[in-house]
Structure 1
Amino acid sequence: MTRPIKVALLVDEYFGGAKTAFGGYGFLARHIVAKHLPNDEFEVEVLLKKTGAKLRYAPKCYMVDGIPVYHLASTPWDWNNRRFLRKKNYDVYLSIELTNRSFEIMAIEPDTSKPLLLWVQDPRPKADWEEIDTVELFAEDSYYHQPTYDFVHQAHQNGRVQFVTQAHFLTPKAKELYRLPADTPIPFLPNPIEIDRDFDVEQYPKKNQVIFLGRIESVKRGWLFCEIAKAMPELEFIVLGKSGRDQEANQKIMAPYYEIENLTFAGHVEGERKQQFLRDAKVLVNTSIHEALPVSFLEALEVGTLLVSCQNPDNLTERFGHYTGVVLGDGFDKVPLFVEGIRKLIDKEAERQVLAIEARQYILDTHSIEAFQRDMRAALKGIVKR
């Protein structure tokens, strides 16, 4: 029998697994790729580059949900990492975007012909960072890293890298960031979500609740959600998420909002508890200065929760909710635009219900686990050389 294809999944975090942080890439890696990609034909292992002050002299394995997750050695001991990669002899690398730490792993792979499938998730050319830099209340640290983008450019020229993308509007950004030819094929391979087939979007009794789902960080501008809650005391607002980096600075900004009576801070939520919040709410508000296509949008639409946002990835906000238009800077002066969008959806109940049904159907048609398994396995098989 032919042995399974060995896939090395590159990501910076693993949604709490192996002592890592919580974030969108980590959620996708742990709860989608590692959970649903493996079968008799595919094995998946996760590779994380060592960060932080504490040195690691050799790769260390954590078993998370039955999947091997490796923290590689610190940079001074990359010879140990090279020996590890040579012994593992992965058939293909799958990267959720390509961060500078994941690039460092690819750069030390002894076999420079090993293929990489780069799943375009959130490419950020300089113009995107210029928009992010308009936030003054709490600046977001830039992780723009030209050596990573140069590596992808050269590897693509050498035939080592191929691409798929989770959203159509990201394709031109990826081509700009990686300096790809205009005719470079980047097929659409949307992020999937786990769908509750028994959920009845037409009969479920939603509440007059508005939710925020995401990390409490500068780029998310959670303070705007709190200002919206202050302006709409007749509705219940719930923040789902907590600070990761820069907790003290984020806490200082958010603390004045803790006393708002119609605003609840639920903290980090997962599993059935998160699903309950998503099902109950009528509206998900996203106030970020920058987004790709967040998984939270897909999770909301799957249960008929509509969108109000200043981001409009692949026109989904405009199609299934209310798009405020671009909101730069700290955004305080644009709070009325969000208030208007929420009122427009909640005050027109019949129209909201129609949109909710259409939103769920879109998710069923486009973002299923089954479609992901079929398309991702085919894409990986297409570039494996053995």
Structure 2
Amino acid sequence: MAMGTARRTPLVSRRRQGFAVVSAAAPRLIVMLLAVAAMPSSSVAAAAGSPEVVELTLLANAREKGAVCLDGSPPGYHLQRGFGSGEHSWIVNLEGGAWCNTTEDCSDRKMTDLGSSKFMKAIEFEGILSNKRSQNPYFYNWNKVDIRYCDGGSFAGDAEGKDRNGTKLFFRGLRIWEAVVDELMGKGLATAKQALLSGCSAGGLAALLHCDDFRARFALEVPVKCLSDAGFFLDAKDLSGERLMRSIFSGVVQLQNVRKVLPKDCIAEKDPTECFFPAEFIKNISTPTFIRNSGYDSYQVGNIVAPGGSDPGQSWASCKADIRNCTSAQIEALHGFRKELVEALEVAQRKRDWGLFIDSCFNHCQTPFRISWHSPISLRLGNKTIAEAVADWYIGGGHGVKEIDCEYPCINPTCSSQLDL
């Protein structure tokens, strides 16, 4: 089963961040609308707002640097300048959108904005990239960058191939990462007084992979940290006992040659595919990092725990659409997934300057969306929104910001207002 063929509509929306989620969003949309309808009009206005549209900038001299999208077009990014007290503070965000792990997959992908800048448009900045203080209280006036994802390999590969028609495919995610950050350094990032590297989904995985490299670009006295949202993918077995995620990652590792970004200690002892999973490579990350994931990640439930091929009778279809529809046996399977996640995160729990926000809501990415990042109906742990938890961690060095929600169906009333994004 290929995971890299998801299409995204060419809208100016941060919803391009996520995967094509197999679960139906309609039931949660109704819940969301009811929750919004019950709010005071002033709260609705504050939660909504109009995100700013930020134009696309194409990387200069991309072809000379070999830093190109799958189809050979120059990669792009969106830059919104900071102001006031945030003039010298920076967020660099890596866009997500699954992977392509076969030649056929990548050939299809290069005909979309996930593989070619020819299809990229201006986008809206919201959530962690919003410039509105009410929606983004700590980072609103920082310089904010969104690096578009067009390599299909979490900004990690460095190779070439041929598509079905014999024309070249460029797997240059690592070069894109390096060249875009180099260009940003010349646009003021080099003089940053504080910086945060972030990303969600496949971009969250990339933020972890490049975390220490990002840190190394600044003087030691500059606070530099990383944030991974819904990027902690597990090497878990599905219903049939197969490891679909390992199969997908193996294709990416081999096709795109991602070995350069993997910890040398790990690949000296283990298969490179194993080293591409966060549970392994976070052991080597020295930069303070914040991990936001759901214990019942809707994407991983639908594509790793119970992918279609492992459920021929579609007995999981209703459960994958809404966790409240799951049988007791299905809930037990989901508890097993959550247990694997929490155990894999023990490394992060032991690191004093790291942060965790592991909720038990049925969702995927949360940081790119204004409603889930910081609004009157955002999910909360420890009585804090994700935005507040990340801010406390960034300012306070991680102390006390390690929140892990209880097992479903424990009652976290803020879960009910979350649309599956």
TM bucket by the smaller chain?
0.3 to 0.5
TM-score (norm 1): 0.36
TM-score (norm 2): 0.33
Structure with higher Rg: it is 1
Ranked by relative contact order (alpha carbons within 8 Å, sequence separation 6 or more), the top structure is: 2
